[in-house]
Structure 1
Amino acid sequence: MTPKQFCYSIILLVVCILPFSTKGQDAVFSQFFNSTLYLNPALAGIEQDVTVSFGHRSQWRNLLFPYTTSQFSLVVPYYKSKHTKPLGHIGGFGLSIYNDTAGENNNFKTTGGNVAFAYNLPLDHKYINLITFGLQLGAINKRIDPDGLQWGEQYNPYVGFDASITSSDVNSLRGRTFIDINAGAFWWYNPIQTGSELINSINSGVSVSHLNNPNESLLEQESQQLPLLYKYHGGMVLNVSYKATISANYLIAYQDETVQNNIGSYFSYKLTTFNQGKMNYGIARLGGWYRINDSFILLTEFETALFKVAFSYDWNTSSLRYNDRGIGTYEVNLAYRFTSHAPAKSRY
């Protein structure tokens, strides 16, 4: 299949996935490409420089059950020799730590940490076609803080809720820590640009989380297996001009008979500056997304060779919008790249 034929296949796939419904169980990031290790452990092999990033998501703050999710990640590439950079890029190592809280008083907490290793398999000597495989191993802790929670047996028919009544349910709650194993693969077609190509890059990836089906139940004598989470993601970047690109991207996530679909596009434009006679440039991006049957997402981003800052906002389109009084969800992402001032790239 030629790259042009592959482009048309991706467009057809994006159109075909529109009818599915949108749901989810694990934490969700609207800027999923900026939370690479959370999306797919194979992406630890794509970053060519040591990179640290931080993402934070605040959802439904004005409701009784808000969610906040934060993630920190570190990616360290591995080369055969520093003299072969960027060729000879064997893979990379990744470290990710995340925290998710829910409930009016942040009663429900999930904290996880993992390490990842990715191995790059080039399909040609110029690294134009590349497949990378990733494996991730970590631990997750889930717990409930009972302070402020009310239980049915604490109800007194004469006075209503009575905090002096101790609930037997509290004694059965236990925090649980378990091992979590994830794996993924990612294909990236990144041709050498000569100024005349339509295609800037194409990518496609798949990942599977919770391969060991760990027990996540918070009840001491109960067992509840954490279901597998499948993700399929990818897209293509097209050159509009020397300075501008436009992309089409998608994410399909399936877990326990529920499906989430994201489809959207980015417009990227190079902003040229001069410093001490040298030309430098950053990339400004504006993106629009639709999480089907859930929300519209608007994203703005600015990236240079050294850092990236991004902000997105979700407008809810589900029945929950009647209760959120117009206040949606915001997400921020900050990244810093320890690099030799290589130019920023449009990867998505």
Structure 2
Amino acid sequence: MRKSLLLTFCILSFTAQLYAQDHIYSQFFNAPVYLNPALTGQFEGDIRMNLIYRNQWSGLGGDLSYLSASADLNIPNFGGGLGLLFSRSNEGSAYLRKNNLAATYSYSVGGDDFVTSFGIQAGMASRQLDLNKLVFSDQIDASTGYIPGSITNAQLPTVNTRSYFDAGAGVNMVYRNFMGGIALHHLNSPNESFSDVQDKLPMRMVANASWRITLNPQFNFQNDDGVYLIPSVVYYRQAASSSVSMGAQFKYSSVNMGLWYRTSGTSTADAVVVSFIFDIFKGSKNGEKLRLGISHDATTSKINYTNTSGTTEASVGFEKYFPNSSSYSKFNGLRSYDFY
């Protein structure tokens, strides 16, 4: 009961302070299409598939889990890509669910040592709430807690499902060993309300930058093998809420280890994150791989790690060339995925 009440308090507190807020992934690099639609098709190969799952604050009662799955194509004939993105979230003991299915498209321009990609995203989202799972103040006794079988006198919404159109756009640039991008999600600020009162989903801005520092004596920014240190920073802002993730990855051939520090607001500590990525195999053609990722967030905010048990993420990525593919790289092999 204590954990359930704590979870409810956390959710209500965040709702009051942050309004509607999208989830973010600690392994942002393993959810590229979710991060920025301009990253659609930006990889070596013909097809890429990514799946990431986040189980947040597993030590609390209720459910805070998030999943994103994407599949995108690299189409060299016009230097861009096409993709599909599905996202699902489950939040709280009232089973607030959100599903989003979107198509993404990117187009790239550039030369031998730089490429700039422009992306758009459009799809439909639905939001559902199980009203029977909600507990109101007139169903709680001050000494014993929840009163079994009690019925609230609160006036509940007449609908528990909301569907709406959702759109986004972004741009990403790769210049030799530097990458930077910015994306704007929910450009149309859709209404998520279950009642007649407007509850618009605020636009979410994501800005990211990475620098790939070679630790090899002989440097070649087109070479994916070797030893690298990759510092990165990602900034999120949605309505009054902001967050910054900063850290670095140490990459050696098929192994990638990362250490991150995330803030909530301007300077409030949120979590320390440790990540590991393994490329299980690399095909005979450059870029083919099966990638497994795991990370864990150690909560450093006031909610603290003892109550939450932290957050765990797992991800799977797959890049492949089609049979009889020409393996053509229009921009000299420059792709954002080289930074992860």
Same fold (TM over 0.5): yes
Q: Which residue of 1 aligns with 2:234?
A: 251
Sequence identity (%): 24
Deviation at 1:90, TM superposition (A): 1.4
Deviation at 1:161, TM superposition (A): 2.3
Please tell me the root mean square deviation across aligned C-alpha atoms, in Å: 2.6
Q: Which amino acid aligns with 1:261?
A: V
Pick closer, same or farther for the CA change 1:231–1:157 going to 2, 3 Å: closer
Q: TM-score, normalised by structure 1?
A: 0.77
Pick closer, same or farther for the CA change 1:339–1:168 going to 2, 3 Å: same
Q: Which amino acid aligns with 1:263?
A: M
Task: Report the Cα distance in structure 2 between the residues aligned to 1:302 and 1:34, rounded to whole angstroms.
Answer: 12
Deviation at 1:225, TM superposition (A): 1.1
SS of residue matched to 1:320:
coil
Kept after mapping to 1: 8 A contact 2:59/2:310: no
Q: Which amino acid aligns with 1:206?
A: I
Q: Which residue of 2 aligns with 1:150?
A: 135
Q: Which residue of 2 aligns with 1:101?
A: 90
Q: Which residue of 2 aligns with 1:174?
A: 160
Q: Which residue of 2 aligns with 1:48?
A: 44
Matching of residue 119 in structure 1 with residue 107 in structure 2? yes
Deviations 1:316-347 (A, max 9, x none): 0000116526x111001101112279899742
Deviation at 1:37, TM superposition (A): 1.1
Matching of residue 295 in structure 1 with residue 271 in structure 2? yes
Q: Which residue of 2 aligns with 1:189?
A: 175
Q: Which amino acid aligns with 1:231?
A: V
SS of residue matched to 2:160:
coil
Structure 1: 5+ residue stretches without partners: 1-22, 81-88, 191-200, 271-282
Q: Which residue of 1 aligns with 2:209?
A: 234
Superposition map of 1:254-265 within 5 A: 254-265=237-248
Deviation at 1:46, TM superposition (A): 1.1
Deviation at 1:152, TM superposition (A): 2.8
Kept after mapping to 2: 8 A contact 1:107/1:147: no
SS of residue matched to 1:285:
strand
Match of 2:81 among 92, 106, 109: 92
Deviation at 1:162, TM superposition (A): 5.2
| Alignment: residue pair count | 291
SS of residue matched to 1:61:
coil
Task: Report the Cα distance in structure 1 between the residues aligned to 2:305 and 2:250, rounded to whole angstroms.
Answer: 32
Task: Report the Cα distance in structure 1 between the residues aligned to 2:59 and 2:239, rounded to whole angstroms.
Answer: 29
SS of residue matched to 1:233:
strand
Q: Which amino acid aligns with 1:35?
A: A
Runs ≥4 residues deviating over 3 A = 153-160, 166-173, 340-346
Task: Report the Cα distance in structure 2 between the residues aligned to 1:178 and 1:100, rounded to whole angstroms.
Answer: 16
Superposition map of 1:131-146 within 5 A: 131-146=116-131
Q: Which amino acid aligns with 2:236?
A: A
Q: TM-score, normalised by structure 2?
A: 0.79
Deviation at 1:309, TM superposition (A): 0.4
SS of residue matched to 2:134:
coil
Higher relative contact order structure (alpha carbons within 8 Å, sequence separation ≥ 6): 2
Pick closer, same or farther for the CA change 1:108–1:323 going to 2, 3 Å: farther
Q: Which residue of 1 aligns with 2:66?
A: 69
Matching of residue 347 in structure 1 with residue 339 in structure 2? yes
Q: Which residue of 2 aligns with 1:5?
A: none
